[in-house]
Amino acid sequence: MMQSVKPSFAKTLKQSVMAYAFNIFGIAAGTIVAYHSGLFDRAPWAVVIYPPILSARGVIG
């Protein structure tokens, strides 16, 4: 019984890690764009709030 559970868990873990990796790349790309657009110069607090907004947007959309 345990052997049938492990492949399913491994498959789910692999898919979760892949989805998380793409989310990190999206946050990094969005942060680079925001940095070059001058957003962080105009609103320094955006450094703290910008990644969660991008992450939530990715989960919703």
Q: What is the pLDDT of residues 38-48, one digit of tens each?
A: 877 888 887 77
> Where in the chain are the domains?
18-60
Q: d(Cα 42, Cα 48) in Å, to the nearest integer?
A: 14
Q: Using the 8-state DSSP alphabet, how is residue 1 labeled?
A: -
CA pseudo-torsion sign 24, 28, 33, 37: positive
Q: d(Cα 6, Cα 18) in Å, to the nearest integer?
A: 18
Q: Strand, coil or helix: what is 24?
A: helix
Parts of the chain with a pLDDT under 70? 1-7, 21-23, 57-61
Q: Is-contact 12 18, C-beta < 8 A? A: no
